Amino acid sequence: MSDPERPHRKRKIALSAAIYALCYLFLLTIIFVMIIINDPAGWTTYLVEQFSDVLFLVISVFFLVVIVFFYYFFEDRETLVSMNNTLLIFSLFSVSAIICYLFGRYISPYSRPLALFALLSLFLLNRRQTIFLNFIYTFFIFIIDVYTNAYATTELVQEVYSTLMLGFVSGTLAVFFAGSVKTRAGLVFTGVVLALPTSLVVALLNLSSITNDWGLYLANIGYRMLGSVISSVLALALMPVFEWVFNRLTLFRLRELTSTNAPLLARLKTEAPGTFNHSLIVAQLSEACAVAIGENAELARAAAYYHDVGKLKQPECFTENQTGYNVHNELTPELSADIIRSHAKDGYELLLSNHLPKPIADVALQHHGTLPMKYFYEKAMRISGGEANIKDYSYVGPVPQTRIASIVMIADASEAATRALRDHSPESVEKTVRTIIEERMDLGQFAECDITMHDLTVIKQTLVDALSGVHHHRVEYPTIRFNRDSLREDKRE
């Protein structure tokens, strides 16, 4: 059987190969500019006289780019065909390499921020890709060293080989040390921690030179410590630039987006306080569910915070923001359904126009899937005498495309439904959440994402545990009414 997607996929891969080719030319250009900077007067002679060396350089960089291409081809085709990802990877290569070159040339080869690439890549891409890409990047820096620093002065051979060793050690350790970092301050601290093992590598590699020049030996160790700290400081400074240009979601950005001072949340708080409070609870629930099924908890929390921002367009049309007066009493059910339905799309557009990451906007668009709006459908059926079309009273979708969108969908409905419950016993909450999940399964809402039955069971239990707690009954106060007289001591006598 032929796959109809196949020609389309082939075209995408061919396109990404073309982008890789352009990135390759860009990397070569950077190296040639470095060669020119190193010897502005004699670089043309160098290129002519050392033609075989230059050819070797061109071929070496070609292989590095080809290896990256094949890595993504076999390991992660989705990343391969995404132009945004490819440009991000090569921008990280270029920017980190240029910074390393400048430090190496103008300060000391040991002061180069060799962990910069790994730290940026770890948060902007992921851990697995970073471990692989750091090896390629270290070879890239090594090639640059051989053809730029070594070309300028032949006494730097040891430094050139140190690069290879230090690049592997710094980058790989950075991935492990920064793996559990959750704050920007923690990232800087990673640089401080990295200073120790990397300077030890320098100390050991240079042991032979210890007797020649003590001062230089210690200076190199000091420079390496500085280089490690600079790596993390620069990663911290450059991260927001990459986050913004490539619209990436790092842990730090997600945390900032979930600060209640974030502009859209601040608006939600003042203009739609009911929705804001509802979103806070949905965020807590979604985060707990994400942790329970091994999803990205920070992303789930952020997506839930923003899932209903579309309600900002007409906050008074949504129950949670109404104080008595219900505008829908004066509207036809068709118009009401139109207004309610549009909050998903309005939220999506508002989030994208405010430059929020697409995964968060997607959740806003998908959190009601293609579910019917029962209340208005029933109202329409009543008024029209059974003539209403369910399609006119349903959300337009799409249905959740990710496990996180499914979590938010279930948490959202469960929060709203249990809020209305009088009995918040675990049994009653369990029944409500189970009905919500089963209804959505029946209506095919989870058909387009890879959520499993096991995930749904875990989500259900997490919600039951959390919601029986959130809406717990207060201890009933005695109905005795006190007055001033009843508190007078002499009354006891």
- Chain positions contacting Fe ion, by CB under 5 A: 308, 412
In the bound state with Fe ion, the residue whose beta carbon lies nearer, of 223 and 446, is 446
Q: CA 14, CA 36: separation in Å to the nearest integer?
A: 33
State the minimum distance, in angstroms, from the CB of residue 365 to Fe ion: 10
Tally of helices (H runs) and strands (E runs) in the chain: 22, 0
Task: Identify residue 485 by its one-letter amino acid code.
Answer: D
Q: Is there a contact between 87 and 20 (Cβ–Cβ < 8 Å)? A: no
Cβ 450 to Fe ion shortest distance, Å? 23
Q: At its nearest, how many Å lie between Fe ion and the CB of residue 347?
A: 8
C-alpha radius of gyration, the chain, whole number: 30
3-class DSSP state for residue 298? Answer: helix
Q: What type of residue is 332?
A: T
CB of 332 to Fe ion, least distance (A): 21
Residue with smaller CB distance to Fe ion, 308 or 455 = 308
* Least distance from Fe ion to the Cβ atom of residue 319, Å: 11
Whether the CA torsion 375, 378, 384, 387 is positive or negative: it is: positive
Q: In angstroms, what is the minimal distance from the CB of 341 to Fe ion?
A: 10
Minimum CB distance to Fe ion smaller for 159 or for 412: 412
116 or 356: CB nearest Fe ion = 356
**DSSP codes joined into one string, 122-172:** HHHS-HHHHHHHHHHHHHHHHHHIIIIIHHH-GGGHHHHHHHHHHHHHHHH
Shortest Å distance, C-beta 278 to Fe ion? 6
Rank residues 23 and 285 by Cβ distance to Fe ion and give the closer one.
285
Q: Residue 79 or residue 258: which is nearer to Fe ion going by CB? A: 258
**Residue 92 C-beta: closest distance to Fe ion, Å:** 37
C-alpha 96/C-alpha 159 separation (Å) is: 18
Give yes or no for a contact between 380 and 388, defined as CB atoms under 8 angstroms apart.
Answer: yes
Distance, in Å, from the CA atom of 220 to the CA atom of 233, rounded to the nearest integer, reads 20
Alpha-carbon dihedral sign for residues 239, 178, 162, 71:
negative
- Under DSSP, is residue 322 helix (H, G, I), strand (E, B) or coil? coil
Burial class, 154, CB count within 10 angstroms (exposed 0-12 / middle 13-18 / buried 19+): exposed
CB 100 within 8 A of CB 113: yes
306: amino acid identity, one letter: Y
Instruction: Please say whether the beta carbons of 361 and 310 come within 8 A.
Output: no
CA–chain centroid gap for 280, Å, is: 20
Nearer to Fe ion, 278 or 379 (CB): 278
When the beta carbons of 173 and 265 are compared against Fe ion, the nearer one is: 265
Tell me how long the chain is. Answer: 493
Nearest approach, Cβ of residue 75 and Fe ion (Å)? 37
End-to-end CA distance of the chain: 97
Q: Which of 413, 417, 340, 419 is nearest to 380 (CA)?
A: 340
Residue closer to Fe ion, measured from CB, 143 or 281: 281
Is the CB of 114 or the CB of 340 nearer to Fe ion?
340
Give whichever of 69 and 276 is closer to Fe ion, judged by the CB atom: 276
CB of 273 to Fe ion, least distance (A): 14
Closest to Fe ion by CB, 160 vs 268, is 268
| Nearest distance from C-beta of residue 368 to Fe ion, angstroms | 6
362 or 412: CB nearest Fe ion: 412
Residue of 309, 281, 313, 283 whose CA lies nearest to 297:
283
CA angle centred on 81, ends 78 and 83, rounded to 5° = 120
Find the shortest distance in angstroms from Cβ 96 to Fe ion. Answer: 42
Nearest approach in angstroms of CB 275 to Fe ion is 7
Q: What residues contact residue 113 under an 8 Å CB cut-off, 6+ apart?
A: 96, 99, 100, 103, 227, 228, 230, 231, 234
372: helix, coil or strand? strand
Whether residue 418 contacts residue 424, with contact meaning beta carbons closer than 8 Å, is answered with: yes
3-class SS of residue 280: helix
